[in-house]
Amino acid sequence: MSSTARARILIIGGSGFVSGTVARTAVAKGHQVWAVTRGTRPLPNGVRGLLADRHDTDTLARVTSQASGGQPWDLVVDCQAFEAADTRQDVQVFKEQARQLVFISSDFVFDPAHRTFPQPEEAEHYLKGLYGGKKRECELELLHGDTGNMRWTIVRPCHIYGPGSLLGCLPRHGRDPQLLERLRKGEPLQLVGGGYFLQQPIFAAELAEIILSAMGNEAAFGEIFCTAGPEIIESRRYYAIIAEMLGVELKVDELPVDAYRINHPDEISFLCHRIYSLEKLRTHGLYVPSLPMAEGLRMHVQSLLQA
């Protein structure tokens, strides 16, 4: 199926930052969209809600099967899977219900001590444990599991930003609810390594475009894609752009990398350069991000100022 045709899409999630963005983008393209949630938060306009706890496999299978009306879902997007058991559940429930599954993994799957630049999709060293290690375990369930006739695609986004989320891409100011206030007050930001780590943040709406462009795309079946924005920037520059939009000066207090790594071992995936090529997206016919970082951050900042 072409991604431009009217499709039946099921999102595991739908009311969160990334899942909500995927849902809104799909609705805007004219697709029929359902979302599995626990009903605690409102869904985007045009999205039909299915009440189920994703950890209740029997209920999930029942409500999604009933909603599909006996027709296979053209696309299932799992925005929530964090444990290997979650992806095993995807295979169990959807290998007979869906034509294709897109799993949103993370670029944190890579071992930060063994990265290359740019980092290819295949690597010899993956992170063990922590958030990235668990995402890699989810990937392996698809790579080695029996998915039947259900095709799958994995995307590994770098830092995701845009309306619907908090700002901040680096400890100690990652997703910082007080970031704009701190900058306005002239408070120095405490950035590990002075914020000189390189990365490629991706605007959430462009990640959604990538996911939808994979739908029905045979070149994307059984493939993993590093999904990043078009610009390689220092993390420090990310914060400087925001400060410029507020008309203030960015002040930074540098936190030593080695000491921070020892004291915060659970955050080691942030403490490295995160650089990718977009060539695989291009050669496989997927959407290629192009939004300038400053423009995306402007929309993000405005959304928070207007909230």
Report the b/e string of 58-75 with b at 16+ CB within 10 A.
eebbebbeebbeeebbbb
252: left (phi over 0), alpha (psi -120 to 50) or beta: beta
Quick check: helix, strand or coil at residue 11? strand
What single letter denotes the amino acid at residue 85?
A
Calculate mean pLDDT across residues 135-162.
98
Query: Is 73 in contact with 49 (CB distance < 8 Å)?
Result: no
Residue by residue, DSSP assigns 124-135 as: S-B--SHHHHHH
Calculate mean pLDDT across residues 289-307.
97
Q: What percent of the chain has pLDDT over 90?
A: 95
pLDDT bucket at 292, cuts 50 / 70 / 90 = very high
Reported in sequence order, the residue ranges of the chain that DSSP labels E, i.e. its strands, are: 8-12, 32-37, 47-51, 75-78, 100-104, 151-157, 160-161, 189-192, 198-199, 202-203, 223-227, 233-234, 252-255
Report the chain's mean pLDDT, rounded to a whole number: 96
Structure tokens at 53: 């706890």
Q: Which fold has domain 8-161+202-228+276-290?
A: Rossmann fold (3.40.50)
In a 13 Å sphere around the CA of 305, the CA atoms on its Cβ side amount to 11
Calculate mean pLDDT across residues 158-162.
98
> Residue 53 above 80 pLDDT?
yes
Listed by start position, the domains of the chain span: 8-161+202-228+276-290
Model-wide pTM > 0.85: yes
pLDDT in tens, 203-239: 999 999 999 999 999 999 999 999 999 999 999 999 9
In a 13 Å sphere around the CA of 277, the CA atoms on its Cβ side amount to 11
pLDDT of residue 102: 98
CB neighbour list of residue 298: distance below 8 Å, 6 or more residues apart: 245
> Residue 307 above 90 pLDDT?
no
In DSSP terms, which residues pair with 160 in a beta bridge?
202
| Calpha distance 273→14 (Å, rounded) | 31
pLDDT of residue 152: 98
Nearest of 5, 23, 6 to residue 14 by alpha carbon: 23
Query: Is 274 in contact with 229 (CB distance < 8 Å)?
Result: no
pLDDT of residue 13: 87
pLDDT of residue 1: 57
pLDDT in tens, 56-94: 999 999 999 999 999 999 999 999 999 999 999 999 999
pLDDT in tens, 14-31: 789 999 999 999 999 999
pLDDT of residue 80: 93
pLDDT bucket at 3, cuts 50 / 70 / 90 = very low
What single letter denotes the amino acid at residue 287?
Y
Nearest of 239, 271, 162 to residue 207 by alpha carbon: 162
pLDDT in tens, 255-285: 999 999 999 999 999 999 999 999 999 999 9
